[in-house]
Amino acid sequence: MGRLAGKVAVVTGAGGGIGGAICRQFAAEGAAVVGLDIAAAQLEAVAATIRAAGGRIVTMVADVAEEATAEAAVAQAVGAFGRLDVVVANAVFDLPLAPLTTLSLADWRRTFAVNLDSAFLLSKHAIPVMEQGGGGSIILVASQQARVARPGRPWYCAAKGALVQLAKAMAVDHSAQNIRVNTLSPGPVETGRYLKNFETVEAARASHHTLLGRLGTPDEVATGAVFLASDESAFMTGSDLLIDGGYTAV
């Protein structure tokens, strides 16, 4: 406990399975959290559990694809908690599994607006504030599908691969400001978003493609986020932390 004591974090996609777990673990480790999501009920459920456990969180219901949201989130962190040390760009917009020939241009652009552009916007507005505070850690949540592909996921693979390269470029540009930038790449994780692609929970669990024979849990991914946010990863930047149960090993 206390690995993130004194730190302030902004987390997008905070109402989802992985985002909620990250918020809960951050708060349990002493961080103050600004949680963003477009899904108000899910976000408030996460916030309620954190507050009940004595943690600190403020919430924003907003579209992360809008630049005004990024500006407001950074301002909220400073206004509520006085600083900003950690950014977790975790928001995701998903589509049903399908090849790109069936996608509309509007759907394609929306996936990139949420899955990629929002990371750019939040980082753009967070970096100057983080620099004023002496530096910090930016975590872009990518995926094992930044490295390997699965059928029906062209928009997802493309956006997640772009996040890995974006983190490397940002790490190069901002190391002198003591700002570390890494990606966190979960493999298949048992969340509501993952399960909705299957007819039954049993079918989803059988689809894992991991060496460990199961889906991961949101908490297992969140522990990686805590590590990247903490000073334990002080010598780590421009890297991709892969937590995929061996999915990409073969």
Which amino acids are annotated catalytic? 156
- Give the dihedral sign, CA 78/166/12/21: negative
Q: Which H or E element spans position 229?
A: helix 218-229
Contact 154, 197 (CB under 8 A): no
| Phi, psi angles (nearest 5°) of residue 73 | -65, -45
Alpha-carbon distance 201 to 228, whole Å? 31
Residue with structure tokens 């570390």? Answer: 180
3-state class percentages of the chain: helix first, strand second, coil last, to nearest 5: 50, 15, 35
Interacting residues of 221 by C-beta distance below 8 A, sequence separation 6+? 18, 21, 22, 184, 186, 189, 243
Alpha-carbon distance 84 to 17, whole Å? 23
